[in-house]
Structure 1
Amino acid sequence: MTQSAPSSAPIDVSMIDRIVDAALRGAIRTALALPYARRVAFMGAIARGVAGPVAGYRARALSNLASIHPDWPEARRRVIARDVLDNFGRTLIENYSWREFGARLAQTPIEGGGLPHLEAARAEGRPVIFVTGHFGNHEAPRHALTGRGYQIGGLYRPANNPLVNAHYASTMTDVSGPVFPKGRKGTMGFVRHIAAGGMATILFDLHARDGVPIPFLGRPALTATTAADLALRYDALLVPYWGIRQPDGLSFQIVVEEPIPPSSPRAMMEDATRRLEIRVTAHPEQWFWVHRRWKGVGSQ
């Protein structure tokens, strides 16, 4: 796999960064010593019972839920927030357990109308940009397709804590295809990958300071048009896909949707947002309500 050479520049980290990283590494080491099913359940429990509340994630999820769903009973919002943290913890350790996770997904059926389009694109050498969100486990579709011979890279936003980012990024680079950190150098690498006919993923549901306001769950959210811009520039398919966690907490429904038709970048990202809304409405506990998604264009 192609990866950039590590920088020799010193990493500027705070004492808080070091404490958080040490705690996370300890939890991950403990979890990885457990059998897979117990490991995933353990990290879900740690996230919902300890890490999420201490980090302020539960409070932020409750605030976002109250803002978007003021009509919901508080008890329901609390259950959703708890389950959001549980899903976060499970997703985290699944991605650190990428070999076992990928093996479990290799035989998972792929649903939706997008697979024939992917097969045609691969045969033609046509690039594909997958779009998804912080929903279910966003790496699950990539694993499922990798098990079928696809090479899928990605563009990701580095974690704020550089120590955490150093080891979490490896969970993505080791899976399939090159991944690129968001930023000038990383984006240029991502563009070259797409221009050469590659396949890669963009998570589009984070606040984008320079994005366009697109309604999401009833409120405008600044949304990057990068995925659509690149799809139009390089004649790439723009394909939403999802890894939907099942009631057992371990297995997934993998859905690869029909490509988004080419039009204007804004209209294409409005289509992608509507498709994400459908998933979040059906499974609100699987979207990461912790993000400051509506920052800058509405109350947060």
Structure 2
Amino acid sequence: MLSGWPLPLLHIMGAVLGWAAFLGSPTYRRRFLANAAQAGYRFASVRRAVAEAGKLVAEAPRLWFGSMPRIHWEGAELIDAARATGRGIVFLTPHLGCFEITAQAYAVRYGRITVLYRPARKAWLRELVDTARERTNLAAAPTTLAGVRQMLRALRAGEAVGLLPDQVPPQGLGAWAPFFGKEAYTMTLPARLVQQTGAVLLLAVGERLPHGQGYCVRLMPWEGALDSAPAPAAAQVNAQMERLVGGWPAQYLWGYARYKQPRVEMAP
């Protein structure tokens, strides 16, 4: 039912939900404020992010089951140039804005893309999310060794993959590196994918436009050469993510438990 609602209405509902969660959950509120402070932001600077987090939840039914909303592009020539080389593309985007829309928009405009995701713990929810995310030209790879192999195959075939590099990876798939001045367990997968396939590395942001007008997918080049060692490469990834967050701090998911310990959940 919600998938058929207009996006402006979903975002109004989401803003209310966001503030309800912020005011009703002391744990969430403390983490939100602590993460923002760690990055050097006062609450007044990121106050809008409370509502934006709620919009992220409310827009999910539309993105998973409804029609594609209006998409604007900025920097699409970077994708065109990367595809012209015949190499695969690794897109990195943090928990910023509507990160789901970046992969969906690519799938509609360019073709097949594989995204990394963490399967839900509950079976019924896992089935729902898996079904919703497996859309035309959009494949999902779990955070397991099998998922990593799936992404490698896609890149070697000249396709694209998408990662949330500020997501805490399972134990063994990351390295400790500073994120806004505090050590955070960071995935080393982006560097491994690029090193093993020669893929082009691009940064992507799905900016949520005001008043439910849609989204703007913004592409930016990776700055500098990616280090071959895991820990320095992880630090470079975090620095790039900090750059993106600095551009849109009011749309970052400050309530995400970025500094938590990794879980042991790797499958053989």
* TM-score computed with the length of structure 1 as normaliser: 0.73
Once structures 1 and 2 are overlaid, which stretch shifts more, 63-72 or 127-136? Answer: 63-72
- The corresponding residue for 2:8 is 37
Is residue 263 from structure 1 mapped to residue 231 from structure 2 by the alignment? no
Is residue 202 from structure 1 mapped to residue 202 from structure 2 by the alignment? no
Name stretches of at least 5 consecutive residues in structure 1 with no aligned partner.
1-28
Per the TM alignment, residue 249 of structure 1 is displaced from its structure 2 partner at its CA by 4.1
Query: 2-side partners of 1:176 and 1:248: how far apart?
Result: 29
| Aligned-partner residue type, residue 74 of structure 2 | E
Report 1:114-263 matches (<5 A): 115-208=76-169, 209-210=171-172, 211-260=174-223, 261-263=225-227
Provide the aligned length of Structure 1 versus Structure 2. 257
CA contact (8 A) 1:142 1:152 kept: yes
CA contact (8 A) 1:242 1:254 kept: yes
* TM-score computed with the length of structure 2 as normaliser: 0.81
SS of the aligned residue for 2:9 comes to helix
The 1:287–1:276 alpha-carbon spacing in structure 2 relative to 1, beyond 3 Å, is same
The 1:91–1:286 alpha-carbon spacing in structure 2 relative to 1, beyond 3 Å, is farther
Once structures 1 and 2 are overlaid, which stretch shifts more, 244-253 or 195-204? Answer: 244-253
Structure having the higher Rg = 1
CA contact (8 A) 1:154 1:201 kept: yes
Query: 2-side partners of 1:46 and 1:239: how far apart?
Result: 33
Name stretches of at least 5 consecutive residues in structure 2 with no aligned partner.
263-268
Aligned-residue identity in percent: 22
- The corresponding residue for 1:272 is 237
Query: 1-side partners of 2:136 and 2:252: how far apart?
Result: 23
Runs of 4+ in 1 over 6 A off after TM superposition: none
Query: 2-side partners of 1:225 and 1:246: how far apart?
Result: 31
CA contact (8 A) 1:138 1:243 kept: yes
SS of the aligned residue for 2:67 comes to helix
| Aligned-partner residue type, residue 96 of structure 1 | W
SS of the aligned residue for 1:187 comes to helix
CA contact (8 A) 2:114 2:139 kept: yes
| Aligned-partner residue type, residue 238 of structure 1 | L
Q: Give the one of 35, 60, 76 matched to 1:92.
A: 60
Q: Deviations 1:90-138 (Å, cap 9, x if unpaired)?
A: 442342245233xx12xx1x223xx444323323431111111111011
Query: 1-side partners of 2:248 and 2:260: how far apart?
Result: 23
Q: What RMSD over aligned residues (CA atoms) do the two structures have, in Å?
A: 2.9
Once structures 1 and 2 are overlaid, which stretch shifts more, 37-46 or 229-238? Answer: 37-46
SS of the aligned residue for 2:138 comes to coil
